[in-house]
Amino acid sequence: MTLVRSAYSGHDWWSGAPYVQPAESFSYLLPYNFAMPALVMGFIGVTLMTMQRILAASHELETELKLLATIDPLTGALNRRSFNELFAQLQRSAEQHKTPLCMALLDLDDFKGVNDRQGHQAGDEALRLFSELCRREARKGDVFARFGGEEFVLLLPDTRLGDAQRLLERLLKAVAALEVQGPQGAFGFQASAGVAELRAGDSQDSFMQRADKALYRAKHMGRNRVDVES
């Protein structure tokens, strides 16, 4: 019996395969028992971080696209579409609460001459400086937008016609003090404005037409001035 046992001590007598002690057969797996969960958790962590970055980038892109949809890219003023939406809100509010609402159309004087003499790059800089000044001087609740070219519009809630005129006169005085560096040296520019006050039954077009007529008179009477609706 001893001889038989010794003869088969290195083999599994049932399968005939070499016999290996259980501790030896599984001991090489022990390091993996700890490594695999760590690898899995690491993979999950990296995946979550990547997803967070993708979501953050997506949110930033969405915010930027919304901003581009509402802002004039050259001047930083609101664009026409945004102005139209805000005008409708302010008009409803003014009519419901019986409060005044004024509109001013502003136009840079002789802007074609500025472009001809100084070049379009300097002209663009003049538009940016003008817009920056108007946005800085605007009160909380005022709406400032670019309508195209050198024409801008300013909505003044809770403001009577006389107060709006005085506000615009101060603004145009500040505009005349601006200075732009151009290829031909430093230069200044001026602007004119026409102001109207909301009337019962006004549409946006009828309101704006009265402001536009006032602007035309300001230009006709010498520029660098404010005129109000008659």
Out of 24, 125, 150, 197, pick the active-site residue: 150
Burial per residue of 104-133, b for 16 or more beta-carbon CB atoms within 10 angstroms, e otherwise:
bbbbbbebeebbeebeeebbebbbebbbeb
For residue 54, give both structure tokens: 């993708």
Which value, to the nearest 10 degrees, does the dihedral of the CA atoms of residues 138, 93, 91, 73 take?
40
Q: Is 172 helix (H, G, I), strand (E, B) or coil?
A: helix
> How far is it, in rounded angstroms, from Cα 9 to Cα 53?
61
Q: Is 150 a catalytic residue?
A: yes
For β-strands 180-182 and 185-187, DSSP reports them as antiparallel
For β-strands 191-197 and 185-187, DSSP reports them as unpaired
Q: Tell me which residues are annotated as active site.
A: 150
